[in-house]
Amino acid sequence: MTLPSIGMYGNQGVGGFDSNAVDADGHVYQCVINDGKVEVFSPQGELIANIVVPQTMSEPQLLTSNLVIKPGTREGYLVVGGGNGGFVYTFPALGLGDAQSNGGGAAG
């Protein structure tokens, strides 16, 4: 019998984890809702980067809920919301997107 283990640990601050995606290199992109960021973990489970949404509007935009990496590219798209409404924030991903990077199984 194989016992479960923790693959990665995140200290998400005031937020909580929402959706995530995995790029072709195995990096895990974890949305931290109510904290305005995405934590990026290596395939070994180490925190290697933070993608932080710039707070340039009149009210904070801290609701980072869903993301996708366009297959075959490093183009990342993140749904962001807050007191100013909802927006799509773009970011450069560490690895290429593939079919699983879009939160589903559809290619392209």
Domain residue ranges of the chain, discontinuous segments joined by +: 16-102
Torsion sign (Cα): 66, 94, 100, 11: negative
Q: Is the pLDDT of residue 102 over 80?
A: no
Helix, coil or strand: residue 102: helix
Tokens 């560490």: give the residue: 94
What are 25's two structure tokens?
Answer: 């290199």
Residue 12 pLDDT:
64
Task: Compute the mean pLDDT over every residue in the chain, rounded to the nearest whole number.
Answer: 85
Question: Over pLDDT 70: what percentage of the chain?
Answer: 80
Residue 38 pLDDT:
94
Predicted confidence (pLDDT) per residue in 8-50, tens digit = 666 666 677 888 999 999 999 999 989 899 999 999 989 999 9
What are 94's two structure tokens?
Answer: 């560490």
* 107 close to 80: Cβ distance less than 8 angstroms: no
